[in-house]
Amino acid sequence: MGLLAFLKTQFVVHLLIGFVFVVSGLVINSIQLCTLVLWPVNKQLYRRLNCRLAYSLWSQLVMLLEWWSCTECTLFTDQATVDTFGKEHAVIILNHNFEIDFLCGWTMCERFGVLGSSKVLAKRELLYVPLIGWTWYFLEIVFCKRKWEEDRDTVIKGLKSLANYPEYMWFLLYCEGTRFTEKKHRVSMEVAASKGLPVLKYHLLPRTKGFTTAVQCLRGTVTAVYDVTLNFRGNKNPSLLGILYGKKYEADMCVRRFPLEEIPLDEKEAAQWLHKLYQEKDALQEIYNQKGVFPGQQFKPTRRPWTLLNFLFWATLLLSPLFSFVLGVFASGSPLLILMFLGFVGAASFGVRRLIGVTEIEKGSSYGNQEFKKKE
């Protein structure tokens, strides 16, 4: 085992990476708070600044995927589709099967220059998650309670406010509403059968309201829908902890581009279009399981150095005073100071672990289990 491989497995190193992410995130959130004075004066300048501030935070997570674990992401698509990446507003539909599916999406956003301006329709609980939710708030992310009667006006207002967004954005939708589990899949397919819809083997039944509303509200801004089907070679099920330990994964992403004109204007027809899309996604996953690859030409977008340089900047800025402080604490010989410092380390470790826990499947939301609970 080489030195770098050894360091990737050490808890102290993980704690230092977490320290850099958390403290830089708090600094970034503080700057974002200050930018609010620009909103009534120059909204577009506010948006451009916050895109770059968000990039400085999100790119640290992308750095872990690209440079720390050296995970490779391969696209299966066509040249014409690749040529549009980063040059148009788009809605992204991604399957929700893995703990790091969002991170694979972010690395593609980074490589095509839209990481800072990427959007998502997020559950409202995430608004209160430190750093992540706070940064999203300043980015005008649309939050929902996932109860359409309560969400309708909020979602429509939030989506329409993005109509004049000054930078190309990719708006991510997890149409399944929650991560795939066998329990949720069983219940979802019972619902599908009751509605006369085809059974899906690898996906949950898509919830159509968010998709049809997003497409309707963003017409005239968004020019295409990108359907992305993600899987990992070797039947791997990666985790953010695995990435932190430097485990290398190979992600394959099948990307299909649909011009927005192909999406029906009528809500019911658009919902039927989405159901048909998920049947096709299921067929793509079946092909992948049988052949180990998706159909289409393979592309490996080159990773850019900016994520690494950004992390090194924050690490240099924040770790130097931290090391000086730690040396001062232990040099003082004060048991009280040393105990307080160790308590702080324990609290920081707990906080970082809780942030990682947000991505874990077994700690995901109960959304999608409502029917199951009713049956019990």
Chain region(s) in the chain for CATH 3.40.1130: 7-299
Structure tokens at 231: 């899987």
Q: pLDDT value at position 362? A: 53
Give the whole-angstrom CA distance, residue 215 versus residue 267: 10
Note if the pTM is more than 0.85.
Answer: yes
Give the whole-angstrom CA distance, residue 254 versus residue 230: 7
Q: How far is CA 314 from CA 147, 212, 291, in A?
A: 40, 41, 43
Neighbour tally for 9: CB within 10 Å: 13
Q: pLDDT value at position 376? A: 38
pLDDT digits (tens, 9 = 90+) for 194-209: 999 989 999 999 999 9
Model confidence at 146, pLDDT cuts 50, 70, 90, reads: confident
CB 107 within 8 A of CB 286: no
pLDDT digits (tens, 9 = 90+) for 292-327: 999 999 999 999 999 999 999 999 999 998 888 888
Helix, coil or strand: residue 4? helix
Class for the domain spanning 7-299: alpha beta
pLDDT digits (tens, 9 = 90+) for 60-93: 999 999 999 999 999 999 999 999 999 999 999 9
Report whether pLDDT(220) > 80.
yes
Number of residues written out for the chain: 376
Give the whole-angstrom CA distance, residue 19 versus residue 307: 17
User: What are the start-end ranges of the H helices in 306-334?
Assistant: 306-332
Per the prediction, the chain carries an average pLDDT of 90
Rounded mean pLDDT, 162-173: 95
Model confidence at 38, pLDDT cuts 50, 70, 90, reads: very high
Report whether pLDDT(179) > 90.
no
Neighbour tally for 38: CB within 10 Å: 16
